[in-house]
Structure 1
């Protein structure tokens, strides 16, 4: 019965038989047959089925909630019994925003795979938010904690942002000595889907909200970084992106006495987000531990 309940949970989390079948490496017909068998066993209709959507019945919602603890307890017990024999293995599907994936994840994944040769990594670099359930993703890396209470988050990194520009750009334009001086500069902007962009400055008890304009807008930071290196304008970007170029002096820090962010409540922190479970699968747990260790060195 436990195997049937696990299939049921995967269908609920995936939102369809076909998505659940993909996650479970089963045929959709087998998934449907498992649900039929479970409904017959507990003599309850769990889903309202139609060609367009799959909706839990009231009894199905209750069964999903109550059986969740049973599934988690079973996973914990199995993990305890397996002990050290339960080594990381299998497919690990990761979704990460483009710039962080390219700069911070891609260089360290080969080391992880050398440590755990039975793990396969499927890395998706995309700036759109994914649904870990319906998109069949094991781990997502995003700025800020998830709004979905059914997910867990593990902090990976502070996301401090720095104001920079190339020496050539600064030599050819007016000196920036205070935040309001940015009104006369071309600022490279992260797309925020609003009419006006603002950068928020803080120094001690002083707070400034500065309206900024520029001729280059991007949802990802990498194109803006390239533009700044080619003397295109003033850049506000995460420290982990610009640090190598500050060290090489390809970029120069601006207004270092001020803390500056894209949002009024700060730049947030970077989290690894994964499905709620008291005992994550070994390959997910291993990758989380690996990330925390490696990113702590940045």
Structure 2
């Protein structure tokens, strides 16, 4: 098959429009149309249903688009490896992790990485969905469990536990619970047990919900839970990595916590020699070492 025609077909399928594809490719609409028609003739099939509102892939078109999408990702990976053959660390790095960890732990530390590598362009994708690293939906992932996908390089970074925290002002006003049954007299702030989150956190929340709670506030991520706790709304279920950046939070009911949640950094085997990935990996590991050191110092004080 003609590679140029496949490239044009992919752009049209991605844009859903001859006009938009032409703009992206710097070609006229008629030139794009001719190339698509020639590809259809060479395959003896129809790739698009033509509608007034745009183009829709036929079943055969969807099969071809899946193939060209995979090709595009492999080409992106090859281009990334070529760029990383240079001595300098620069270019785009797509990093995925959970909303809570990304917004509350990772993002506040990124200035140190940018100071060292000012030409990096980080695309930080925060979501609970596990992106497919071998298919290059992202370059690097920080996950709250060990990745199960093959062909990934993985490193355990640390372990996290979900614990109970409140602000000093809230506790001054409402008192400090001494046993778990006392939680019923307080407002519990947590993620909804049915929302996407690590299993350990969901299990702890379910156990707390079994108490006769007077009031609750559920949020779909830890950033929202933290904001509610900092604004004196109640006692929140939060990951313990927050204690480094929010030392004024008060641990409530120290015996109540989730089981340990491992945190892993992972990236595709094909990016083993990527300088951008190595720079990000080393940065995260250095920050983890600093985090652990500070925790030890806090424990001694």
What is the TM-score with the length of structure 2 in the denominator?
Answer: 0.58
* Aligned mates of 2:180, 2:25 — CA distance in 1: 58
* Aligned mates of 2:37, 2:277 — CA distance in 1: 33
Could you tell me how far 1:9 is from its partner in structure 2? 6.6
Out of 54, 57, 73, the residue aligned to residue 55 of structure 1 is 57
Say if 1:175 and 1:72 are closer, same or farther in 2 by CA, change over 3 A: closer
Counterpart for residue 222 of structure 1: 223
* Aligned mates of 1:239, 1:96 — CA distance in 2: 17
Question: Deviations along 1:201-251, whole A, 9 cap, x unmatched?
Answer: 49xxxx945334535443343343243234331111111224443xx4x22
Structure 2 spans left out of the alignment, 5+ residues: 196-200, 292-301
Counterpart for residue 241 of structure 1: 242
Counterpart for residue 294 of structure 2: none
Structure 1 spans left out of the alignment, 5+ residues: 261-265
Tell me the matched-pair count. Answer: 275
Could you tell me how far 1:165 is from its partner in structure 2? 1.8
Counterpart for residue 106 of structure 1: 107
Could you tell me how far 1:84 is from its partner in structure 2? 3.3
What is the TM-score with the length of structure 1 in the denominator?
Answer: 0.59
* Aligned mates of 1:158, 1:229 — CA distance in 2: 24
Could you tell me how far 1:162 is from its partner in structure 2? 1.3
* Aligned mates of 1:279, 1:35 — CA distance in 2: 34
| C-alpha contact (below 8 Å) 2:8/2:32 kept by paired residues | no
* Aligned mates of 1:6, 1:70 — CA distance in 2: 9
Could you tell me how far 1:193 is from its partner in structure 2? 6.5
Looking at secondary structure, tell me which structure has more helix per residue: 2
Question: Deviations along 1:16-62, whole A, 9 cap, x unmatched?
Answer: 569x969x964586895797399369636583344456436448627
Over the aligned positions, Cα root-mean-square deviation in angstroms equals 5.6
Could you tell me how far 1:72 is from its partner in structure 2? 4.0
* Aligned mates of 1:158, 1:228 — CA distance in 2: 23
**2:215 partner SS:** coil
* Aligned mates of 1:42, 1:98 — CA distance in 2: 47
Counterpart for residue 179 of structure 1: 180
**1:254 partner SS:** strand
